[in-house]
Chains A and B, each alone.
Chain A
Amino acid sequence: MIHPPATDRRAERPTGDVFRPMPPHGRGPRDWPYVAAFCAALLMFGVALPRLVVGAAPQPDLPTVDLTDRSARLLGVQAGEVIEVGTTAAGPWQRLRVAHVYHPAEYPTEISRTRVDVRLHLADLEALEGGADDVDSVVVRLRASADPGQVATRLDVLPIGARAYSSRELAAHGSAPFEVIARFHEAISVVTVVTSSVFLLAIMTLRGEEMRRQVGVMRLVGISPRSVGAAILLIATGIAVAGSLVGVGLGYVLSAATNVAYQRLFDTTVVFSRITLPLLGEAVTLSVALGIAAGALTTWRLLRRRALEQLGR
């Protein structure tokens, strides 16, 4: 895919901004026929604001437009109806007939509650914007044997004021915000693990204090410190396992609630929260290990005192 250079401010902005690349006035001396041979589609993404025309009379000669199913629902229109589209909210407006309503492949980067996706013929959009021969991206379909990276490199050196990306590079570029969010979530999860550990330690300390007399009596009647320690550790493990199971259940409930809430909010089938087996394993292992560690610390604190001391004598 050929795009404006990544250093461009407007191309980087996450607000649906549009960059107007340089109009290609000439063709590359050597590579242009190669590009043209594989060029499957030209896409132009413009800021086009649609609005519904109520009670519009049928006009068969109107240019046509395709809408995504979500956009059609947002606008309250169906195929055959007429909408008006403008490049700014102040107009001027161009009347277009909705030819098709389709369900697109959904990408997390494109999910929005209010965004309306309108697909126009390139010539109609160019006319609407008052520009000529302007495109934002050129999508290139390669022959099966072609290497996308090599083609992108060759296209990159063309002096056309554009940057070529392979689909893989573009995906990596587009997923950068999600990688940042993932790192943020990881950092937050470390904080919550620390919080939980301190919480667990405090609770186990309190529990140990509560068991102090009981432990003292057990030791006085002849039960070895080892057996007492094992019993306390067993209790701690039981609590940790039970807590983990409750946590897993709670996690599933919250995950399902998150998906239901956001899928409704954004009117999408994209999955927002997914609990995977490795994630589950990691969470349960961590919480059980922390529980046992807290139990071990409590056991050590309890057993380092003498039995009579534990009874307050």
Chain B
Amino acid sequence: MTTLLWLAGRTFGRHPIRTALVVVGLSVTGALLLDMMMLAGGLQASLGQVLSQMGFAVRVVPKGTTPFSGIAEIPDGDRLAAAIGEQPGVAAALPIAATNLYVWRQAAPFASFAFGVPRGETGAYVIVDGHDLSRQGSGDPPVVVSRTLARFDGVRVGDTLTAATAAGAVLEGTGTPERFQVVGIADFYLDLASQRSMVMRTADLRRLQGRPQGAAAEILVRMADPDQVAALLSWLGTRHPEVDALSTERYLSRIGARLTYFNQFALILSTLSLAISFLLITAMVTLSLGERLGEIAMLRALGFTRGRIGILILMEGLLLSAGSVLGAFVLGLTLSGYLDTILRATPGIPEKLHFFTLTASALGRTIALLLVTGAAGGLYPAAIASRLPVALTLHAEVLS
């Protein structure tokens, strides 16, 4: 095997520019392949990473929906959350209310997405300045605002905001504006790039809405024992058909069903890049073989079997592929960053999510596919080389 490797290496060393060109070409196609592997399921993988950071293993939503995807609510959300909290392996069940509010600070009102939580320190967001809802400031009810809201509107901890469900004086009758004191600034995990968010106590939110407490848009469930997730899902499925209980995997698969475009696009471009790699390797190895038929015949005459000659040629294809892996990785990562920036401009994509996510699986599949393509590209010339008639070829070589 070492001899074969040495021979294959020497073949490429003879024509460094040609070899370099092919390796560069394969690196570019390999980069495209890596990017497409990162794109296929990349958004799901990215969402999975953010969800695992949040630490809630189960999400309970109104049947047929995904979290915050509509106006539907779980009518008895608070009571259901309490019942879930008593199930084995559950550490906490957090009912979340959500609505759109208009917020005034000084000038015109701005729209904000408001969450209602029963108490502070729930882990649904990360406080980056100030403190959570649990600690009351002055007499006004507390509110925690997102970093985007704080940045866009110059809001700081200690400021007072006025919030209402309606934007104008004409509609004030529909929801009396209330004053809130900003007690903290937080990082919300799944906010859009330009989304203003705020979180307040559910009781305050419902009062602002003029609605009774009890309903929830979503229930976040933190598990003390992750092995009990299946049992909880089964219990909810049997006892509460009005809701969908989504484990992180089920949630990702529901989201993934809406991302077929990217998967299909990735499949088409991966196939294309593999086809180009295959053609490049086949062309390179075949033309290179054509130049050294005499050398191959000589090796056969020296005792190399047909099988070993075939392996030598296959190895050349494989080496070309292997040589392009590093370049493909570096180029692929650079390119994916640029492509990700383009795609993240799509409206409605949360700030923390990425379309291109490097996973071990994406990297492994890329390397495996590149190597298999390298070997496949060497098949045709290997077949020619192993069938070469020794005497005739040597004779033709002497005559030329």
Contact = CB atoms under 8 A, between A and B. Distances in A.
B64 interface: yes
B208 interface: no
Contacts of B64: 49, 88-90
A159 B62 CA distance: 33
Interface stretch (A3-11, A74-82, A116-124, A282-290): A3-11
Contacts of A88: 62-65, 72, 242
Contacts of A9: 68, 100, 113, 192, 195, 197
Given A180-B345, A184-B343, A195-B273, A159 B171 contact: yes
A47 B70 contact: yes
A177 B171 contact: no
A7 to B, nearest CB: 4
A191 B28 contact: yes
Nearest to A194: B28
A90 B287 contact: no
A188 B265 CA distance: 11
Interface stretch (B5-13, B127-135, B162-170): B162-170
A196 B279 CA distance: 11
B237 interface: no
Contacts of A192: 32, 272
B248 interface: no
B348 A14 contact: yes
Interface in B145-165: 165
B22 A25 contact: no
B304 interface: no
A195 B342 contact: no
Interface string B30-65: 011000000000000000000000000000001111
A42 interface: no
A18 B70 contact: yes
Nearest to A49: B64
A227 B355 CA distance: 53
A69 interface: no
Nearest to A159: B168
B396 interface: no
A164 to B, nearest CB: 13
B185 interface: no
Interface string B344-355: 011110000000
A199 B68 contact: no
A159 B166 CA distance: 9
B339 interface: yes
A10 B100 contact: yes
B167 A159 contact: yes
A24 interface: yes
A169 interface: no
Contacts, number: 172
Nearest to B280: A199
Contacts of A177: 346-347
B290 interface: yes
Interface string A191-203: 1101110110111
Contact of A26 (B62, B173, B280): B173
B124 to A, nearest CB: 15
B242 A187 contact: no
B316 to A, nearest CB: 14
Contact of A12 (B169, B339, B347): B347
Nearest to B32: A191
A228 interface: no
A235 to B, nearest CB: 15
Nearest to B152: A7
Given A8-B113, A17-B69, A188-B269, A24 B171 contact: yes
Nearest to A7: B111
Nearest to A24: B171
Interface in A21-41: 22-28
A7 B243 contact: no
Contacts of B242: 88, 90
Given A10-B71, A13-B348, A187-B342, 12 more contacts: A7-B110, A7-B196, A12-B192, A12-B347, A13-B68, A17-B70, A25-B174, A89-B65, A89-B244, A159-B171, A195-B276, A199-B276
Interface of A: 4-5, 7-10, 12-20, 22-28, 47, 49, 87-90, 129, 158-161, 176-177, 180-181, 183-184, 187-188, 191-192, 194-196, 198-199, 201-203, 205-207, 209-210
28 contacts: A5-B167, A7-B196, A9-B68, A10-B68, A12-B192, A12-B348, A15-B69, A17-B68, A23-B174, A24-B171, A25-B173, A47-B72, A88-B242, A90-B242, A158-B168, A159-B168, A159-B169, A160-B167, A160-B168, A176-B346, A177-B346, A191-B335, A195-B25, A198-B21, A201-B25, A206-B287, A209-B291, A210-B290
